[in-house]
Structure 1
Amino acid sequence: MLVAYAWLTLVGFVVQLVPNAGPGALPRTLAWTVLGLGLVQCLLCTGVLHRAIDSYLGTRTVTDARLALPAVLMASMTALTVVLVAIRAVEVGLEVGLGLHGALAPFAVTFGVAVPRRTAALALSGYLAATTAALAAAGLPGADLLAALVVVGLGGLLSVFTGRSSAWYIAVIRELEEARGVQARLAVAEERLRFSRDLHDVMGRNLSAIALKSELAAQLVRRGSETEASVGQMTEVQRIAREAQSEVRAVVRGYRDVDLPTELAGARGILRAAGVDCRTDNGGSQLPAPVQAALGWVVREGATNVLRHADATWCTVWVGTDPAGRSALLVMENDGTRGQAPGGSAGSGLAGLRERLDGVGGTLRVARDGESGTFRLTAEVPLAAGNDATADEAVTDPAGTAGTHGSGTDGKDSAE
């Protein structure tokens, strides 16, 4: 944006000196020279501007040598414009002011970003004072001199303000991105601490009891007596181990559970904080808990993809059921694929979602519209999957009989 501002100001205001210059070869030559120097100055300032923004952000520095040549070109353009006034080639104050504004703008934008605010203000004041004196000495009438001074002053302030405000905006965006990263890392660390604390609370007491009773049983065996007592101790160890296994399953199950309303509220909040207008419509409040959990994972992964891989301005999330009432549906749509190739990779996150939904008989569909730039994520989970999952949970409830068969470590529990 800053580069475009510099070029448009130069082309829009300096070019008008060429047709407005008085008759004769010398005025035309001087006007064309001013325009040529302006083009060179703009090219140089374009290269320095990126480094100047980095300097404002504190990642790089801009040396005086890089600003010296654009400053010399800007001063030369000003001097030649004053010469045009002196030879009466340009006599209207507004034309003089616009020409000087076009000569000053590229350098003022770059210089205003590269140096502190106080330095930029002092430099601009000095330029205005020197230019006013030069125009007065060149014989520009008082009214035209005042008009030229107002145009140049306001143009210089606008250029410096535009440069610094744009750099400030970039700095805010960068700080926001860094804050998001820190927030995400803190959330992960907090969740790890919670999980480790819960696991410690569950396992600490049981492992201590197992160690104590195993040691007691070993001592009884060494004595070669009280066989029944040692068997009783080992039976107690087995019971405590099974209880510990059930409690660990409960902790892991609680750690993995996802609440759909919570995920919708979280996605809406984080996307709006990122500048995405997110609207949610949760018509699935009566869905079975396993179905809501599966759809909650879709919302979480979908919101993550919008933040990481998309450039969205809006996002909608709708939850409900199909017309037949047999399946739960979640449709998440955003406009974050503008300017992206329609055949992009689905990513490992969506592949993981497909595997998770496949476990409850669900499906995941992805659709992209290259013309409108929309991306639609549709998840469908049969409502019967929720009933089946509830029944399975009742059968394998740790408080039930499932934990009393064998060692109680089937393939599914081992995976947990």
Structure 2
Amino acid sequence: MVIEIASFGLGALASAAGDDPTRSSWAVALALFLLVCVQSALVGFLSSRALDWLTERRERPVRLAVVTAVFTVLACLTTLALVRTGQVDAAVAPPPVLGMAGFACGSFALCVRRVRQTIYPPAAAAAFTGAAVAVLGFPAGDALGYVIGVLVTGLFLCFTCRFSAWLLQTVHELDRSREYQARLAVAEERLRFGRDLHDVMGRNLAVIALKSELAVQLARRGRPEAVEQMIEVQRIARESQREVRDVVRGYREADLAVELEGARGVLSAAGMDCRVEYEAGRALPPEVQSALGWVVREATTNVLRHGDARNCLIRLTAGEGPDGALTLLVENDGAPDGVPDGPPGSGLAGLRERLAVVDGALRAGPVEGGRFRLVAQVPGPWTRAAEVGA
């Protein structure tokens, strides 16, 4: 925007100084050029602030809009006055006046919420220009030409700027929606685990509380049945421990095929293009499924949290030959700043510990093209491309 408006100033400088040096001096032409440049800088700065306001990153630039409007009025009046006094050729005035008024209208259109309000700046600019040229004594034809020119230029630039702002707002909303979807996907998984744990523990804890209360009452009365009730409480507590371990074991040792499809669903829900490639075959050993399932989970979490990925590839393959290793590849285009890791039992360090149980290995890091790749390998042989139990 600044370049376009400044080009009008260059045209004014060249025309005013080159056509008739005796009538328009270089000093006047240079002053006109600087006036246009300063106004273009104000318009560019206002447009930037207004776009930040439309994307809810700062307050509406009201004061800057007022300053820009006042300066634009003074700049247009100065240009018209120079033409009227004969210091600038009449053919030089329309480009800078139309440029300053039009681009100012475009920046003002970014400072309003409703689209229908964008018609006000061009209408006001056209009315002011018409009044100014009439007061300065320009011919009626020139006044009409200025009014039409400012109105058409202002409407066109208002539409252009507003359309660009709409595109920016749409991209901003999509970005924010993707972030919310990723958070909701993680929260949904946490709620699922919480529901499973509540279903298992809720009933048992209620029974423990009732039997403990009964045992207290019996003990206060000196009844021997209190011992039996406490033995029952102990039995239920141990059963609860076993059921909790089963829930956690099921969470940690989930079926690999389920984890792969779950990763596809979570990443797709977060707005990413996720491609999962594997084939169903004979079942893998439980310990291998557990280790690779954790790799899929942690890699999915890293894609959601650490990068700004738009597409992700998850591929499970097996090498050929007697020593062919089972390879799980997770690659996305949102490389994080550094390799995410954590204390033992979490992050990539925890994954390496789990893979070590099945003699597996893990590699992770940025690769060419701004992508991040995680590769987990478990030694074979594996005779199918992906031997994942259905």
TM-score (norm. length: structure 1): 0.69
Query: Which residue of the partner structure matches residue 199 of structure 1?
Result: 200
Is 1:247 aligned to residue 247 of structure 2? no
1:89 lines up with 2:89 in the alignment? yes
Unpaired stretches in structure 2, ≥5 consecutive residues: 383-390
* Identical aligned residues as a percent: 32
8 Å CA contact 1:84–1:90 kept in 2: the answer is no
Paired residues of 1:101 and 1:155 also in contact (CA < 8 A): no
In 2: Cα distance, 1:39 partner to 1:305 partner:
48
Letter in 2 for 1:352: G
CA gap 1:48/1:223 in 2 versus in 1, 3 angstroms: same
3-state SS of paired residue (1:61): coil
- Structure 2 match to 1:298: 295
CA–CA separation in structure 1 for the residues paired with 2:123 and 2:70:
17
1:277 matches 2:277: no
Measure, in 2, the Cα distance between the counterparts of 1:30 and 1:184: 65
Seen in structure 2, the aligned counterparts of structure 1 residues 302 and 15 have a Cα distance that, compared at 3 Å, is: farther
Residue equivalent to 2:126: 128
Asked if the contact 1:67/1:111 (under 8 Å) is kept, the reply is yes
Aligned partner of residue 26 in structure 1, secondary structure: coil
> In structure 2, what is the Cα distance between the partners aligned to 1:280 and 1:138?
72
8 Å Cα contact 1:112/1:163 also seen in 2: no
Counterparts in 2 of 1:67 and 1:232: CA distance versus 1, 3 Å: closer
| 1:347 matched residue in structure 2 | 341
State whether residues 52 and 110 of structure 1, in contact with CA within 8 Å, keep that contact through their aligned partners in structure 2. yes
Q: CA deviation at 1:102?
A: 3.7
Secondary structure at the aligned position of 1:16 is classed as: helix
User: In 1, distance between residues paired with 2:90 and 2:290?
Assistant: 75
Answer whether contact 1:283 1:318 (CA < 8 A) is retained. Answer: no
Once residues 198 and 307 of structure 2 are traced to their aligned partners in structure 1, the CA distance between those partners, rounded to angstroms, is 36
TM-score of the superposed pair, with normalisation by structure 2: 0.73
Shift of 1:181: 6.4
Residue 9 to residue 300, structure 1, CA distance change in 2 (3 Å): farther
Q: Which whole-Å deviations, capped at 9, do the CAs of 1:271-320 have from their partners, x for residues lacking one?
A: 44555433221236545254344333323332333333323343222112
Q: CA RMSD in A?
A: 4.3
Stretches of structure 1 that go unaligned for 5 or more consecutive residues are 1-5, 386-416
Query: Between Structure 1 and Structure 2, which shows a larger proportion of helix residues?
Result: 1
The equivalent residue for 2:159 is: 158
Q: How does 1:53-64 map to 2 (within 5 A)?
A: 53-57=51-55, 60-62=58-60, 64=62
Inter-partner Cα distance in structure 2 for 1:36 and 1:211: 88
Work out whether residues 328 and 381 of structure 1, in 8 Å CA contact, stay in contact via their aligned partners in 2: yes
Structure 2: distance between partners of 1:384 and 1:214: 58
Of 355, 359, 362, the match for 1:361: 359
- Residue 12 of structure 2 corresponds to 17
Residue identity matched to 2:166: S
Residue 19 of structure 1: how far off its partner (Å): 2.7
Deviation at 1:262, TM superposition (A): 4.1
Partners of 2:53 and 2:59 within 8 A in 1: yes
Moved more, 304-313 or 209-218: 209-218
Q: Distance in 2 between matches of 1:199 and 1:13?
A: 76
**How is 1:17-416 mapped onto 2 (pairs within 5 angstroms)?**
17-21=12-16, 22-24=19-21, 26=24, 29-49=27-47, 51-57=49-55, 60-62=58-60, 64-83=62-81, 87=86, 89=89, 91=91, 96=94, 99-100=96-97, 102-104=99-101, 107-117=104-114, 118-132=116-130, 134=132, 138-139=138-139, 148-149=149-150, 152-162=153-163, 164-166=165-167, 168-169=169-170, 171-173=172-174, 175-176=176-177, 179-180=180-181, 183-184=184-185, 186-187=187-188, 190-191=191-192, 193-201=194-202, 203-204=204-205, 207=208, 211=212, 240-272=236-268, 274-283=270-279, 286-288=282-284, 289-324=286-321, 326-337=324-335, 344-348=338-342, 349-369=347-367, 372-382=369-379
Say which SS state the counterpart of residue 24 (structure 2) adopts: helix
Specify whether residues 145 and 357 from structure 1 end up closer, same or farther in structure 2 by C-alpha distance, changes over 3 A only: same
